[in-house]
Amino acid sequence: MQPLTLATMIAHEDSFLEQILKFDDQGQASSQSSSEGIPYVTNAFWTARQRQAHSLHEISYRACFKPQLPEFFIARLTQPGDTVYDPFMGRGTTPLQAALMGRCAVGNDINPLSILFTRPRLRPPTLEAVAQRLQQVDWQCGEIENEELLVFYSPQTLRHIYALRQWLLARAPIDRVVDPVDDWIRMVAINRLTGHSSGFFSVYTLPPNQAVSIASQRKINAKRNQTPVDRDIQKIILKKTRSLLRDAAIVNAAVGQPYSCLTTGPAERNAQLRAASVQLVITSPPFLDIVQYADDNWLRNWFSGIDTQSLAIAHHRHASDWQHMVAATLQELTRVVAVGGHIAFEVGEVRHGQVMLEQQVWAAAEGLPLERIAVMINQQTFSKTANCWGVDNNTQGTNSNRIVILRRIAD
């Protein structure tokens, strides 16, 4: 097969490729290169500083991407009313950004926790409604079932957490469409369970997207000579709610109007999505075995009543196994994406650049009805805020966004 070069790609008159080649919004021209026959286009296409993301995005999740990433593609590759899909949605950055831009928001993840993060922010309540609802909780009825959790919480705080958990499990089972205010309260609570400041229910621990084990927390407590103090759960939930809703003027105008659909299941097969119903996919799967999604979310899953062990979260030690998962996912995406629609498939740079995951994705797309347009590399500068939302994976060996751009062509 002839190697694919940038010149042959341009000859196809791909308008998106032309756009990224001409991109110089930051006063810097895109640079072009080629490796293993794959065309690369590099620039600072988006940065957290260049454009403030909507406050509703400020929910932490391991290896989430910046909202500016889906915004870049949604703005250029879709029209209002089009459908945007993420089969590995995590905290729901893609569907939320899609909804904020008046697109139909479709998202999926193997962990039902993702729906609990995403759905409430597609239909946010008012601060007053949240305050009133919190008063209905019977805060005195909580009973401590697992005393080991006292490594994170004072006895009173833990009783209140149990009371809220019990109230939510009874009123808002996770497998049903539930009241938006209850849904919101659970979303904020699972994001305040543990963290590194007094804005969280716990004593000092790791940032909120990474709950440590009971044994590790014991060590942290001993090292810091700390004991959990009482926290006012209602106050913390209201404070975070106020912060998330501070850009609400835009929310009311944009979120919740177009259709949205969130599902739980493997990315490799989403029976609830019709063929050719999607115009754009923006997604990022787990990168090999770099992030421990099950372990990091154990406390959030416990609070939500999710059995972490039962989840088939993708976790691949070998690049070849990972490539099989990607190939199966791309096969499914060719079913759901309409001809002319695009896929932006993001991967990180892992194992200090020894494994180039974008090359695996490029190879996995071969033979499918997908035009392989280019790999975009976004030059990143990390902000402190971005770090604490879990965007920066530097310590885990990831330091650049690499996005494989594909276009669905006729079979």
Ligand X SMILES: C[S@@+](CC[C@H](N)C(=O)[O-])C[C@H]1O[C@@H](n2cnc3c(N)ncnc32)[C@H](O)[C@@H]1O
Where do contacts with ligand X occur on this chain (CB under 6 A)? Answer: 61, 63-65, 87-91, 93, 109-111, 114, 266-267, 284-286, 293, 313-314
Distance CA 282, CA 279 (A): 10
As measured in angstroms, the least distance from the Cβ of 91 to ligand X is 4
Q: Quick one: 109 or 182, whose CB is closer to ligand X?
A: 109
Q: Quick one: 258 or 285, whose CB is closer to ligand X?
A: 285
As measured in angstroms, the least distance from the Cβ of 65 to ligand X is 5
Residues 6+ apart with CB under 8 A from 166: 141, 142
**At 345, phi and psi to the nearest 5?**
-110, 105
As measured in angstroms, the least distance from the Cβ of 111 to ligand X is 4
Distance CA 405, CA 45 (A): 14
Q: Which letter does DSSP use for residue 374 in this model? A: E
As measured in angstroms, the least distance from the Cβ of 256 to ligand X is 20
Encoded tokens for 338: 């309409």
As measured in angstroms, the least distance from the Cβ of 361 to ligand X is 14
Neighbours of 191 (CB within 10 A): 22
Give the H or E element holding residue 19: helix 15-22
Q: Which residues pair with 348 in a beta bridge?
A: 401
Q: Quick one: 91 or 231, whose CB is closer to ligand X?
A: 91
Cβ-proximal residue to ligand X, closest one:
90
Q: Quick one: 65 or 153, whose CB is closer to ligand X?
A: 65
As measured in angstroms, the least distance from the Cβ of 282 to ligand X is 8
- Give the type of residue at 227: T
Neighbours of 352 (CB within 10 A): 9
Q: Quick one: 316 or 372, whose CB is closer to ligand X?
A: 316
Query: Vertex 402, ends 14 and 21: CA angle to 5°?
Result: 35
Through-space distance between the first and last CA atoms of the chain, rounded to whole angstroms: 19
Contact 144, 155 (CB under 8 A): yes
Q: Quick one: 113 or 168, whose CB is closer to ligand X?
A: 113
Q: Quick one: 114 or 191, whose CB is closer to ligand X?
A: 114
DSSP H helical ranges for 123-154: 127-136
**At 103, phi and psi to the nearest 5?**
-105, 160
Q: Quick one: 94 or 157, whose CB is closer to ligand X?
A: 94
As measured in angstroms, the least distance from the Cβ of 247 to ligand X is 18
Describe the crossing of helices 68-77 and 93-100 by its angle, rounded to 10 degrees.
50
Q: CA gyration radius for the chain?
A: 22
> Strands 278-283 and 401-408, how do they pair?
unpaired
Distance CA 296, CA 61 (A): 9
Q: Quick one: 266 or 341, whose CB is closer to ligand X?
A: 266
As measured in angstroms, the least distance from the Cβ of 67 to ligand X is 8
Distance CA 163, CA 284 (A): 36
As measured in angstroms, the least distance from the Cβ of 230 to ligand X is 32
